[in-house]
């Protein structure tokens, strides 16, 4: 990537003792270890550029975009759910509360 990178979140992957991370930026995410080496060939690719990204206790990552909220598996990056919405809002924080 050339130019400015817009980071979203650094997610510590479950069951890795804090040694593996999912770095989300722009409209994708990559899996690396704490030394900066790729741990998976898979790249998490959002359907649209998220304004906010959050990790959920259900081992999912949620991305809030202009037209939809995407739920993806934190382990594989696979799309697990999409919620369409009409009103685009910019959130300062996106988080899970009481398993919701």
Tell me, what's the pLDDT at 36?
92
pLDDT tens track, the chain, 100 positions? 678 888 999 999 988 999 999 999 999 999 999 999 999 998 999 999 998 898 888 899 999 888 899 999 998 899 999 988 876 665 556 666 766 5
Domain boundaries of the chain, sorted by first residue:
7-84
Tell me, what's the pLDDT at 95?
66
Tell me, what's the pLDDT at 91?
59
Tell me, what's the pLDDT at 70?
94
In contact, 60 and 42? CB cutoff 8 Å: no
Tell me, what's the pLDDT at 90?
59
In contact, 86 and 68? CB cutoff 8 Å: no
Closest CA to 7 of 87, 21, 40, 19: 21
Provide long-range contacts, Cβ within 8 A and 24+ apart, for 73-77: 74/11, 74/13, 74/14, 74/22, 75/13, 76/42, 77/29, 77/42, 77/43, 77/44, 77/45
Tell me, what's the pLDDT at 64?
87
CB atoms within 10 A of CB 65: 19
pTM of the entire predicted model? 0.79
Tell me, what's the pLDDT at 57?
84
């Amino acid at each position: 990537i050339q130019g400015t990178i817009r980071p979203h979140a650094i997610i510590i992957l479950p069951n890795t003792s804090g040694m593996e991370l999912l770095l989300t930026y722009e409209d994708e995410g990559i899996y690396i270890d704490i030394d900066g080496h790729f741990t998976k060939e898979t790249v998490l690719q959002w359907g649209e550029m998220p304004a906010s990204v959050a990790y959920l206790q259900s081992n999912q990552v949620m991305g809030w975009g202009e037209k939809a909220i995407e739920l993806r598996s934190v382990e594989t990056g696979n799309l697990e759910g999409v919620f369409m919405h009409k009103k685009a809002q910019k959130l300062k924080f996106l988080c899970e509360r009481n398993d919701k």
